[in-house]
Structure 1
Amino acid sequence: MVIIRKYFAIVGLIICFLSSMTPFLKVPIKGNWNLYQVDAYLFFITMLILGITALLFFVRAVRAYQWMTRLSACWYLVSITAVWFKINNYFGWGFADKLLSKSLHMRWGWIVYLIGILLLLLSTKKIVSTNE
């Protein structure tokens, strides 16, 4: 049987939703970019996954919620990897990519998002039922 630690889940969901407004990337002239400015598709897919996770939490679909938290963690890894590769291989030219990768920097928004994802992962716990 799987149980949900409600406080971990609520705080994790709030942190994940609020992290989309934190700076994810530092662009030289334009300043800090949030997740929407980094990539709109990445933002909408992330919000869709988090929205479905929140919906499953509130309708108490425990197994589906647990599955969506794992999907959220996998999506975090895919998104940070995709942004890193986009920074380092943007043009496909060695010189331009090296220049771009030195000027663009990841910001602390990724860490806030990771904390939210870890709280979501820790919000589910499998316990052994004694009624069997």
Structure 2
Amino acid sequence: MKNLQLLGLILVVVGSFLPLVHVPIIGNWNYWKVDYYLAIFCWIFCACALFSILNNRPKLVNTFAVFLLILFVFTLFAIKYQASSYFSFLPFKSWTNALAGTVKLQWGWIVEFLGALIMLFAKSKNKN
């Protein structure tokens, strides 16, 4: 359904502006503050998915939804890796792990993944 796919796309775009990571003292970060290259890729994939939705190409929509899911998983791993390597200058491994653990994921990821999953699993009524 086009409407469900558009809803999923809107959720992904809106989710990129919601808080995704909480960094102590600094505050909440959205996708742009996490990494603007990843944010640009996210928005390019969303634009391509919108083009595919408007041209009634469900296989392309599914492809870009999978690309978005892969991008989100990659971003989560990159955030955890960056948080642990950011504090690598500390002399004790326990201090590094404790401070890296203060970087928390926020609720915006739920919206991001939900939107991509809706785009992926929404089926088109037209069987052309």
1:24 corresponding residue in structure 2: 20
CA contact 2:21–2:106 (8 Å) conserved in 1: yes
Decide which moves more: 61-70 or 21-30.
61-70
Backbone CA RMSD of aligned residues? 2.3
Q: TM-score, normalised by structure 2?
A: 0.83
Give unpaired runs (5+ residues) of structure 1: none
User: Once the two structures are superposed, what CA deviation does each residue of 1:30-64 show, in whole Å capped at 9, x if it has no partner?
Assistant: 21111111111111111111111111111223332
Q: How big is the shift at 1:81?
A: 1.8
Give unpaired runs (5+ residues) of structure 2: none
2:73 corresponding residue in structure 1: 77
Q: Distance in 1 between matches of 2:45 and 2:96?
A: 31
Percent identity of equivalent pairs: 24
Match of 2:4 among 8, 13, 27: 8
Q: Distance in 2 between matches of 1:92 and 1:126?
A: 53
In structure 1, give the amino acid aligned to 2:107. W
SS, match of residue 89 in structure 1: helix
Decide which moves more: 5-14 or 71-80.
71-80
1:114 corresponding residue in structure 2: 113
Q: How big is the shift at 1:14?
A: 0.6
Q: TM-score, normalised by structure 1?
A: 0.81
CA contact 1:87–1:97 (8 Å) conserved in 2: no
Poorly superposed stretches of 4+, deviation over 6 Å = 126-129
